[in-house]
Amino acid sequence: DVVMTQSPLSLPVTLGQPASISCRSSQSLVYTNGDTYLNWFQQRPGQSPRRLIYKVSNRDSGVPDRFSGSGSGTDFTLRISRVEAEDVGVYYCMQATHWPLTFGGGTKVEIK
Amino acid sequence: EVQLVESGGGLIQPGGSLRLSCAASGFTFGGYSMNWVRQAPGKGLEWVSYINSSSSAIYYADSVKGRFTTSRDNAKNSLFLQMNSLRDEDTAVYYCARTLSGTLDYWGQGTLVTVSS
């Protein structure tokens, strides 16, 4: 199985400051068709996961443009340009290039 | 509006069985593959099972293979997860999620399954 390793585990951030979450995979996530199926999800306290980013850098409709995804191969990053109070929660990366689907362990974003 | 509503969770003794349902609305259910994903209390997300639109391809995580069965009824816009021989470690919130092109684009609110004597 592809192992997804996220860091840090916990990310205390000051409101208005940037935040960055790393996700590394144990194998390349480039599929045979050339696409890279790396997704980012946000899970606010008490809620179900919500997709933010798909195929590395495509932001979902309704997701603020302060969220951005980047990376390639085995190394990916989710960035929040200016953290707001509503961004508190746990963020997960997930790969869908290889079976089974696997998730990172999660990064908890909290306000300092 | 896409909606996925899970039901069927509850408290069950180890070794027991439970059937979860996921009612879909707001999209053409029969045109999409679906997944079950679970989350143990205070833990991360774990993929459980996948079923394609025609039920011709069904996959399971090793942790549930041989005990869980995924099925769907496209006429009733419903997805199911039959869980047998339940163990303590199956305690989790179970989510159904729609699959689209290598992603899980919509998730339900989840249903809690507690396995305990």
Joined together, the tokens standing for residue A28 give 């390349």
pLDDT of residue B116: 96
CB contact under 8 A, A96 and B107: no
Give the rounded percent of residues in chain B with a pLDDT score beyond 90.
97
Answer with the residue of higher pLDDT: B87 or B103. Answer: B87
CB contact under 8 A, B59 and A99: yes
Residues in chain B: 117
Average of pLDDT values for B79-88? 98
Which positions ≥6 away from A61 have C-beta within 8 Å? none
Q: Hey, is the C-beta of B45 within 8 angstroms of any chain A C-beta? A: yes
Angle CA(B110)–CA(B19)–CA(B50) in degrees, nearest 5?
65
Q: What are phi and psi of B107, to 5 degrees?
A: -125, 150
Report which secondary-structure segment, H or E, holds A72: strand A67-72
Q: What are phi and psi of B43, to 5 degrees?
A: -115, -175
Alpha-carbon span A56 to B79, nearest angstrom = 29
Whether B110 and B8 have beta carbons less than 8 Å apart is answered as no
Q: Cβ contacts (< 8 Å) between A60 and chain B: which residues?
A: 105
Tens digit of each residue's pLDDT (9 = 90 or more) over B22-74: 999 999 999 999 999 999 999 999 999 999 999 999 999 999 999 999 999 99
pLDDT of residue B110: 98
Instruction: Identify the band that residue A3 occupies on the pLDDT scale cut at 50, 70 and 90.
Output: very high
How close A18 comes to chain B (CA, Å)? 24
Closest CB to A49: pick one of B61, B101, B107.
B107
Q: Hey, is the C-beta of B35 within 8 angstroms of any chain A C-beta? A: yes
Instruction: Identify the band that residue B101 occupies on the pLDDT scale cut at 50, 70 and 90.
Output: confident
Q: Which residue has the tokens 């990376």?
A: A71
CB contact under 8 A, A48 and B107: yes
Rounded to the nearest integer, the mean pLDDT of chain B is 97
Closest CB to B102: pick one of A37, A49, A100.
A37
Count of CB atoms within 10 A of residue B17's CB? 11
